[in-house]
Amino acid sequence: MVKSLSSNTSPKSIALILAIFSMVLLPSLDGFENNKLTDDPCNGSVENCDKSYTEVSYPETHNAHSTLDDGFNFLASNHRENITHQWDAGFRAFMMDVHHSRYSQDIVNTSFCHGSYATGIHPCVHGSHNGVELLTQLHEKMSQSENDVVTLLLEVYVPYGHVEYILEMSGLIEYVHVQNLNEPWPTIREMVNADKNLVVFIEGSFDSEYPFLHSFTEHGWTTNYADRHPEEMNCDVHRGDSTQPVWHLNNWLALESGLTDFQRAPIVNAYDFLLNRSIECWEIHDSRPTFIAVDWWTDGEAVNVTMTLNQMNHWSDEVPLRATTDSR
């Protein structure tokens, strides 16, 4: 126990004691204040916390908003269960299409829909989710998992200012990370401690007025998508800059009509198929897949595959025992 200072203690002695106190205690307090992470996992694992953003593999849902849960008709749906259930299963990356509603192009009607204008039918006819409402749901989930980094890849059919609007109104704008092209990505810990744990990519060109909207073909690349048969799936670069470390392994099938193939989703989403394809592409490009994107996520184990990959530092490592978390 520290004894109280007597009335005879000199001012010099008091000053010395206070100086020692400030040198010992204050730095530790400062570290506590600026380091939110302790032993809690980051994106599924404590080991991920000190890895850079590109050293982690993330499970991703393609057209995450387009679900039967949310009232999209079957022709336009890519999943049964909505983004809340996707989050609860472990998904932290979401591909979504941003449109205006079919009634108005006002900024307040910025929505998530799915479809092609080339058909002559407005994409939002098949189903629509208000942009602010959906991103608010995501914000609520993020606030419950503050150690996780989240990624959006947006296919944008509206002015960039309207994307900024739904990010602002949902409260997500304060979390967006800005990554300068060709600079090293920060670690998960650094992003979380800075409260900048949301990365937004767009299918579009860079605009300096919106530096938080990263052109995904400038900052990364993708494999082909919507192959017709499993044996056609390969690791070739489909679009983007293959020198970048961020890339999407697109892993879903489509019918000849172009619609997603839900019947064969269990084949390509199966643990062994998806893991083997991921490791094969990792070897070919000497770069781990940053995102593994799937349709009909409940028919497969994309989350468990990324958990396995994140235990590996190199494609040639011994494959760990199969992850046991139930992502369905």
Distance CA 165, CA 244 (A): 29
CA 254 – CA 83 distance, rounded (Å): 22
Dihedrals phi, psi of 81, to nearest 5 degrees = -105, 145
pLDDT bin (cut points 50, 70, 90) of residue 35 is low
Determine how β-strand 291-294 pairs with β-strand 129-130: unpaired
The pLDDT tens digits of the residues spanning 241-263 come to: 999 999 999 999 999 888 899 99
Q: Give the torsion sign (CA, 164, 153, 149, 83).
A: positive
pLDDT of residue 37: 53
> Could you give the angle at the alpha carbon of 307 between the alpha carbons of 134 and 267, nearest 5°?
80
Q: What is the CA radius of gyration of the chain?
A: 23
Round to whole Å and give the CA distance between 70 and 127.
Answer: 8
Q: What is the dihedral of CA 221, 222, 224, 229, to 10 degrees?
A: 160
Segment 140-176, tens digit of pLDDT: 999 999 999 999 999 999 999 999 999 999 999 999 9
Question: Domains of the chain, with CATH numbers?
Answer: 53-309 (3.20.20.190)
The interaxial angle of helices 131-144 and 160-169, nearest 10 deg, is 50
Residue closest to 112 by CA, chosen among 135, 95, 130: 130
pLDDT (average), residues 291-296: 98
Q: With a cut of 70, say whether residue 10 has pLDDT above it.
A: no
Q: What is the pLDDT, as a whole number, of residue 324? A: 58
